Structure 1
Amino acid sequence: MTSKVAAAAAFLSRTNELGNFQQSCSQILSFCESNSLRTGLHIHCLVLKLNLLENLDLCNNLLSLYLKTDGIWNARKLFVEMPHRTVFAWTVMISAHTKRQEFAWSLSLFDEMMASGTDPNEFTFSSVIRSCAGLRDLNYGARVHGSVIKTGFEGNPVLGSSLTDFYSKCGRLKEARQVFNSLQNAADTISWTMMITSLVEARKWREALQFYSEMVKAGVPPNEFTFVKLLGASSFLGLEFGKMIHSNVITRGIPLNVVLKTSLVDFYSRFSKMEDSARVLNSTGEQDVFLWTSLVSGFVRNLRAKEAVVTFLKMRGLGLQPNNFTYAAILRLCSSVWSLDLGKQIHSQAIKVGLADRTDVGNALVDMYMKCSASEVEALRVFGEMISPDVISWTTLIIGLVDHGFEQDCFGLLMEMVNQGLEPNVVTLSGVLRACTKLKSLKRVLEIHGYLLRRNVESETIVGNSLVDAYASSDKIAYAWNVARSMERRDNITYTSLVTRFNELAKYETALSIINHMCSDGIGMDQFSLPGLISASANLGALETGKHLHCYSVKSGYSSSVSVSVSNSLIDMYGKCGILEDAKKVFEETANPDVVTWNGLVSGLASNGCISSALSAFEEMKMKGTEPDSVTFLILLSACSYGRLTEMGLEYFHSMKKIHDIEPQIEHYVHLVGILGRAGRLEEARGIVETMPLGPNALIFKTLLRACRYHGDLSLGEDMANKGLALAPSDPALYILLADLYDETGKPELAQKTRNLMSEKGLSKKLSKSTVEVQGKVHSFASEDVTTAEKTNGIYAEIEWIKGEIERSGFTYRGNKNASYHSAKQAAVFGLVYTSPQTPVHIVKNKTLCKDCHEFVSLMTRLVDKNITVKDGNRVHIFKNGECSCKGEEETSFVLS
């Protein structure tokens, strides 16, 4: 009996000790801070060893600690282990996932909670409703609202605020207002401010200001937090709205605490009113690091580098230690102004104060090194040292690698990112699609598109634009259009991308058709889309359309004096259409011409036969301090070729490396060979081809072959043809040039044999096409076009009638039967017939104008007082009164397109 009593006493003693231990653990956990994760793990181990999971208070405290220390995975593990879960445990888990924006997890836990029979409280409902707002899930949220009413929580201020926010974000302002009106304390400042906050966060900025007006009418006094939210709305509505809010702050005597001052500083900086921002900062004595950081960020946003750095230093001088946001802002400035030295100094300071390992600072460092450094090494090192890289970190790294030419590496990084549990956002995917575009990898684009479809984000504007660009650059026009149509909202970038890619693919008519689609979507052309549309007009010879676009640019504020890119495209268009006076006028109106502007002027003058003027413009360009680039020298070499300025061409070529430190590319050597070939210096040209540091391409052999044909050098011509065919066996131009060489050197049997070989290989010469604009519409013609018989038959008859008129007028025209209905003749006659007598005709031909067509068009302008301009593959021919601006040099171009 005594032993039983002793055993019972020992048991009770251990029980008391265990109870005291559990109570002590609970007290320890309640005192733990956010840096006490290790303590929580130790207690968790003891709980498992001593089988204390039945102690709800202990488990709940441990759960709270894990969530406080961001140990979400440990919290999930403990939550699963708990045999019994109180409403507190369910609520803190749901709340934690809501705060982490893991809204789907939050709703899944709520479904489990309801299935377990645990009744939610107002805090549970609040977190669930906020998750519904984050997902914009109206149906789920409405069901939860029904449960709120059934359980008697209707009118609760906590839930009322969450519900108004939910309905506002889902675009249901009427329901949001009904919930607001049902609140028990709807008349107080906090409730009104919460409603304004919901409208601002739902991007309903005008409605937020309207609600403020109602608040004032209702006699509810706004506080500083009300005005903070209203300033956020004003940032999107305009400067005048913000000024009105600021005046209300002053007239109502609202104290300017640091939060409100920070909002005012940020607001004025968004409208480049930095002096006003500085005035707000100095208006009262109360200042903190966030206020100064806002001013620094404002100077950064407006690219006022000196003021940003001075403010940063002044802030430190006042004893305010810059925080991670300050350092991130200054590093963004370094990225914007490409200042690697300053970036390195800021990096060093961030290390000294222990902020370099913060994720936002690390992100800014990766971006800075990627943009400012010629090497990607430093950026990769910073990324490797980051403790917790987030989606922005990975995205910055991927986009930086694309910019540095490491496109192939981006796909592996994307997979690694996903494997680490991070979901790429639309910016990440847009960057990867840009890598696909640069690689011309349709397979990769299709894979990414499939991923986007599975995630249901392909219709988002930023990623949709990248998809459109990727497909269009791969010549998948139908795919690009399908993506564009599926997008919820198209913007200027969408259409600018399409126009740019269509121009690259020489689909100029399709590019111009974009104007109609933009009008249908209510999107106006801007300084980015206009240059592409003007360029399409230039390449089609659509002068009338180009002039309309010029007028639109002036009316819309994108004139040549404002936008250099618009100016450059206009100079190019007028030059290609032979309207040099207008090209010069646009050039003179350009406030700050860059090298592209000068290149456009020099090119326009050269292609229109004004060789000496072109070379003079180049000299003026250098005198005014604009350094030429590689394109400049391509234009100069072409001008020297047309002008038969052999020695000057050689001088320009050699000056590239010696004077301007520009390494000649293969295109420059092609022009150099063309210059020597025109001058008959064929052996010298061959020496250039054989000794140049770059590997020759087919074009350079074609260029020298054409010179051999012109000068009748059969031996060298055959050698060039053989070498060209070794590189490009399917290039029909090589066969045609060789056959012509045989014909002109008295070898007709070899010429026929060459043509037969070309036919056996299934090769045919490039179809000759010409376009002409009549009354704003572009008409296309092709040699021997049987697809538009009704149109061409009529044009053929007109051509024959004009030939008869030429003979009846006493002019000599030795027509080539094989060139009777070339596309240039069709376009010229169509323009002559269907335009008014005073309207010039502008034609664009995709190949060099042949001698027969040149003579025909020239004689046409003798019969009729009409100017006809033909832009062919190499130059502009302006026909007037039987004369051409090329001075009869149409047959001696030695650089093939």
Structure 2
Amino acid sequence: MPDRDVVSWTGMLSAYVRNGRYDEALEFFDSMSISGQCPNEFTLSSVLRSCSLLGDFDYGTRIHAYVIKLGFESNQYLGSTMIDLYAKCGFTDEACKIFKNMDNRDTISWTTIISSLVQAEKFSQALAHYMDMICAGVHPNEFTFVKLLAASYSLGLNYGKLLHAHLIRLGMRLNLVLKTALVNMYSKYQKMEDAIKVSNQTPDYDVLLWTSVISGFTQSLRVTDAIAALHEMELSGIVPNNFTYSSILKASSEILSLELGKQIHSRIIKAGLEYDTCAGGALVDMYMKCSDLAEDALEAFRDITSPSVITWTSLIAGFSEHGFEKDSFQSFAEMRAVGVQPNSFTLSSILRACSTVKSHSQTVKLHGLIVKTKAGCDTVVGNALVDAYAALGMVDDAWHVVTSMIHRDAITYTCLATRMNQMCRYEVALDVIVRMYMDDVEMDGFSMASFLSSSAGLAAMETGRQLHCYSIKAGLASGISVSNALVDLYGKCGCTDDAYRAFKGISEPDIVSWNGLISGLASTGHISSALSTFDDMRLAGFKPDSITFLLVLFACSHGGLVELGLEHFQSMREKHEIAPQLDHYACLVDLLGRAGRLEDAMEVIMTMPFKPDALIYKTLLGACKSHRNIALGEYVARQGIELDPSDPAFYVLLANLYEESGQPDLAKSTRRVMRERGLKKNPGQCWMEIRNKVHLFNAGDRSHPQINEIHEKVESLITELKNRGNLYQDYEDSSYHSEKLAVAFGLLRTPRNASVRISKNMRICSECHNFIMLVTQFVDREIIVRDGNRLHVFKKGECSCMVAASLQQDEIFHNSVCHS
């Protein structure tokens, strides 16, 4: 063209934009500027649209300056385009200022600012602008309502219903776009009857509307209705697309139906969509969740032409959840090698794999990548990184990540508290509450359950009751996780009545609820009640799991019910199809060992389908000690020392066996060998909570600020025992055991009618057990001691464990049952 005017330049520029060639459009505008041709409002609108779609904010602000210079700032068309540019680049406040400065704002400009606020998740502001729009007399169109209905996903169902009523009142025509938005809104809140009613108001249907209906049914887990809708869609002549099939596959993943997933897979192949990123990604996710074979998901993944980051994430997360962490790491490396950048979900998935395998090197590498890519700004990534470091026991590093996060939520602190509980660092876990309060983060059901578990671990009754009160006030007490944690708390603190009340308050108890109640009853010596609760659970229609049987075997063992315990063990595989694990065999050995059936217990170890561990040998060695079987005890000790030569328990138990069997020389030589190998018996510790402060006592400890007063109290109790004619022998080496120090302190510092609650890190020794029983004959107080294995409730000269001799065996039986 010999002569190019603004119209020809603008026409060519518009063609570039319509074809998605935005970079070339900007280069073309630069050429136009160099030629001296002055742009008009239509030229600038195309350029601004290119900047908006490219996210090129710097270039966009230059064009904004052009607009002001040429006097177009009040132009409605250009104003709407500039609002869109600023909003898409994250400058919502600036977009609002541009909107306020516009003259004669029309439906398009109002809809644009509302859309921008919805996009920025400022939903209340979007709704307020809609109210202002109506007050200004500007009539909204269907796109205005589509954007507002999207905002109602977060504002609530009532807002969505009000918008629906308003569009009816305004006489809006229910076209396909508006109808699909309404169906999506009702589906989001699982109001499928309302969604179907809206979809049937007009005969118009397309693939998007049908897909919205099907997606709504799958979100409500109404899979049969979703399949029926798919058939109806096909009968109407509308062909499903990749999103339609993805919705059905999502339902397959939710209900873990591999058969349904395979049927949809065959339809996807028939439709030629197996190479599609969306459908292929849904197939990968379905096979990972529904199939036991990771190869099925991998095969579906390899069919995809260009896997997206979502598809890669499904594969990585699936490998991690199936226990194939190495494959997860390898897939992550391959994804980066082909140039696909991980998103926040990818990073959180691979960090979960690091938490599972406790890989320090992988965690540090990923942390470096997160810092480099500034992905740590994302709360999901930050939380996953906190959990990974805490899982490694690197508490300081975890806290460093927490403090560096821009935004912290309840999940951040729940991750920390949960990991602290797993490491038995209950005091540190409870300190997290203070940090949450200072950060103005409210507890949710999961964080509350974690803190209640911390209180249970410390037997911190006062803290636990305060948390219980707060959970009621905050409306969290009705949640199943909180309710179960309350049952566990009261059970571990020996408050069986409170535990039972907490259990009865659960409207729909699950297997965890029943297990918590059984555990609390069994550990406090209420054997008959524990076994009766087990029967009640089965009558209520609950199928016992492996933890249930650990608890039942524990109850039978401590109740001396050998035949019943054997019967329950046999029923695991025969009646309930539960394969006994190593912990169950340890319970069985303990059951037989307590009854003196040592040969039977040894036969169990020799014939079980697992390689014996140190715990099971310690259990049997404790039984040999109780029944003074030196020959078998020596054999068991040798086997255990071979497995774990650094465990001092084998030497201590063997020495005690020799001593109690009248062979002090052998006992002395065993202890000498132990010392020569640099092994020491774990020191006994007791702790108790008084007025929200935990007091710690060690054997022979003199560091407590009131230690002199405590010693005087111990001595006065011993004197009183002797004056009352009790046959109490005062052993010099045990006078200041941590149990006695804690009892004395508790009697000094707790109200007269209050129970004294003590926790101990290992089994209470028989001498201290006898001491506390005798003390409660003349001290009218309930003394509750939770040792490493069970609860001892001392009252009026008796203990809930009933048989003092059983303490010798309790020294050993310290496995997962104790912490279930």
Q: Which TM-score applies when normalising by structure 1? A: 0.84
Contact 1:773 1:779 in 2 (8 A): yes
Mapped to 1, the partners of 2:720 and 2:27 lie a distance apart of: 93
Paired letter, 2:780: D
2:770 to 851, 855, 867: 855
Equivalent residue of 1:857, what SS? Answer: helix
Confirm whether residue 748 of structure 1 aligns to residue 682 of structure 2.
no
Matches of 2:467 and 2:526 in 1, distance apart?
Answer: 27
Task: Give the aligned partner of residue 207 of structure 1.
Answer: 125
- Describe the shift of the 1:696–1:154 C-alpha distance in structure 2 as closer, same or farther (beyond 3 A): same
Name 1:585's counterpart in structure 2. 501
Contact in 1 for aligned 2:49/2:85 (Cα 8 Å): no
Matched residue SS, 1:790: coil
Matches within 5 A, 1:94-105: none
Contact 1:437 1:469 (C-alpha < 8 Å) held by counterparts: yes
1:722 is matched with: 638
1:496 and 1:795 map into 2 onto residues whose CA distance is: 38
Greater shift in the superposed pair: 857-866 or 146-155: 146-155
CA distance in 1, matches of 2:666, 2:36: 95
CA distance in 2, matches of 1:471, 1:405: 19
- Partner Cα distance (2:618, 2:264) in 1: 56
How many Å apart are 1:677 and its aligned residue? 1.5
Evaluate the alpha carbon distance shift between residue 504 and residue 118 of structure 1 in structure 2; reply closer, same or farther with a 3 A threshold: farther
Residue 167 (structure 2) pairs with residue 249 (structure 1): yes
Equivalent position of 2:309 in the other structure: 391
Tell me the residue number matched to 1:260. 178
Residue of structure 2 equivalent to 1:777? 693
1:880 paired to 2:791: no
Corresponding residue number in structure 2 for 1:431: 349
Q: Identify the residue that residue 756 of structure 2 maps to in structure 1.
A: 841
Matched, 1:327 2:245: yes
Q: Does 1:576 align with 2:510?
A: no
Distance verdict in 2 for CA 1:378–1:677, change over 3 Å = same
Q: How big is the shift at 1:617? A: 1.9
**3-state SS, counterpart of residue 754 of structure 2:** coil
- 2:24 is aligned to 90
Q: Check if 1:662 corresponds to 2:578.
A: yes
Are residues 252 and 830 of structure 1, via their aligned partners in 2, closer, same or farther at CA, if it must alter by over 3 Å? same
Secondary structure of the corresponding residue to residue 628 of structure 1 = coil
Segment of structure 1 superposing worse, 806-815 or 116-125:
116-125
Residue 509 to residue 141, structure 1, CA distance change in 2 (3 Å): farther
CA deviations over 1:244-282 (Å, ceiling 9, x no partner):
222221111111111111111111222222222111111
> Cα deviations across residues 305-357 of structure 1 (Å, max 9, x unaligned)?
23222222222232222222111111111111111111111222222223333
Q: Deviations over 1:357-401 (max 9, x none)?
A: 321111111111111111112111111111121000100001011
**Residue aligning to 1:345:** 263
Q: 1:678: which partner in 2? A: 594
Q: Deviations over 1:848-877 (max 9, x none)?
A: 111122122223323322111111111111
**Equivalent residue in structure 1 for 2:403, among 470, 485, 488:** 485
Q: Larger deviation: 729-738 or 887-896?
A: 887-896
Q: CA deviation at 1:168?
A: 4.1
Question: Corresponding residue for 1:161?
Answer: 80
Question: Counterpart in 2 of 1:180?
Answer: 99
1:805-838: per-residue Cα shift (whole Å, max 9, x none)?
3334444432322222222222222222222122
Report the AA paired with residue 809 of structure 2: T
Deviations 1:152-173 (A, max 9, x none): 6645555533432344466655
User: 2:818 corresponds to which residue?
Assistant: none
Deviation at 1:524, TM superposition (A): 2.7
Query: Structure 1 residues 540, 113: CA separation in 2 closer, same or farther (over 3 Å shift)?
Result: farther
> 1:311 is matched with which residue: 208, 212, 229?
229
Q: Is the 8 A contact 1:782 1:823 kept in 2?
A: yes
Corresponding residue for residue 4 of structure 2: none
Question: Which residue in the other structure is 1:223 paired with?
Answer: 141
User: What is the Cα deviation at residue 463 of structure 1?
Assistant: 0.8
Shift of 1:419: 1.3
Match status 1:635 vs 2:635: no
Task: Flag the 1:557–1:311 CA change in 2: closer, same or farther, 3 A.
Answer: farther
For 1:652, give the aligned amino acid: H
1:117 shift after superposition:
12
Whole-angstrom CA distance in 2 between matches of 1:495 and 1:201? 29
Alpha-carbon distance, 1:141 to partner: 6.0
In structure 2, distance between residues paired with 1:421 and 1:508: 44
- Structure 2 distance, partners of 1:211, 1:177, is 10
Alignment-derived partner of residue 5 in structure 2:
none
Aligned counterpart for 1:891 among listed residues 794, 800, 808: 808
Determine if contact 2:762/2:787 at 8 Å carries over to the other structure: yes
CA distance in structure 2 between the partners assigned to 1:677 and 1:828 by the alignment? 32
Once the two structures are TM-superposed, the CA of residue 189 in structure 1 deviates from its matched residue by 1.0
Q: Secondary structure at the match of 1:286?
A: coil
- Given that 1:165 and 1:199 are in contact with CA atoms closer than 8 Å, whether structure 2 keeps it comes out as no
The whole-number CA distance in structure 2 between the counterparts of 1:816 and 1:162 is: 89
Relative to structure 1, is the Cα distance of residues 660 and 715 closer, same or farther in structure 2, using a 3 angstrom cutoff?
same
2:332 counterpart of 1:406: no
Q: Shift of the alpha carbon at 1:422?
A: 0.6
Q: 2:26·2:47 contact (CA, 8 Å) conserved in 1?
A: no
- Whether the aligned pair in 2 keeps the contact of 1:607 and 1:875 (CA below 8 Å) is yes
1: CA distance, partners of 2:63 / 2:26: 18
Q: Show the counterpart of 2:560.
A: 644
- Over residues 579-636 of structure 1, what are the superposed CA-to-partner deviations in whole Å (9 max), with x where a residue is unaligned? 1112222223323322222222222221111212222222222233222121122112
Q: Contact 1:540–1:843 (CA<8 Å) still a contact in 2?
A: no
Label 1:300 to 1:411 Cα distance change in 2 as closer, same or farther (>3 A): same
| CA distance in 2 between partners of 1:290 and 1:208 (Å) | 25
Aligned mates of 1:821, 1:338 — CA distance in 2 = 59
**AA in 1 matched with 2:745:** F
SS across alignment from 1:780: strand
Question: Does residue 126 of structure 1 match 2:48?
Answer: yes
Q: Kindly tell me: are residues 675 and 201 of structure 1, through their superposed partners in 2, closer, same or farther at Cα, counting changes over 3 Å? A: same
CA distance in 2, matches of 1:467, 1:552: 29
When the two chains are superposed, the root-mean-square deviation of aligned CA atoms in Å is: 2.9
- The equivalent of 2:218 in structure 1 is 300
Whole-angstrom CA distance in 1 between matches of 2:38 and 2:558: 89
2:534 aligned partner: 618
Runs of 4+ in 1 over 6 A off after TM superposition: 92-95, 112-120
| Alignment partner, residue 514 of structure 2 | 598
Of 269, 291, 298, the match for 2:187: 269
What is the match of residue 697 of structure 1? 613
Note the alpha carbon deviations across 1:723-777, whole angstroms, 9 max, x for none: 1111101111112112212222333333233223322333222232222121233
* Residue of structure 2 in register with 1:30 after alignment: none
CA distance in 2, matches of 1:563, 1:114: 65
Gaps of 5+ in 2: 2-7, 816-820
Does the CA-based 8 Å contact 2:622-2:809 persist in structure 1?
A: no
CA shift in 2, pair 1:588/1:114, >3 Å: farther
Q: CA deviation at 1:190?
A: 0.8
Q: Take 2:152 and 2:204, find their aligned partners in 1: how far apart are those partners?
A: 24
Partners of 1:338 and 1:118 in 2: CA distance:
64
Residue from 358, 382, 386 that aligns with 1:440 = 358
Secondary structure of the corresponding residue to residue 892 of structure 1: helix
1:538 to 456, 463, 467: 456
Supply the AA of the counterpart residue of 1:389. Answer: P
Q: What is the match of residue 40 of structure 1?
A: none
1:505 correspondence with 2:446: no
Question: Unpaired runs of 5+ in structure 1?
Answer: 1-18, 20-55, 76-87, 96-109
- The higher radius of gyration belongs to 1
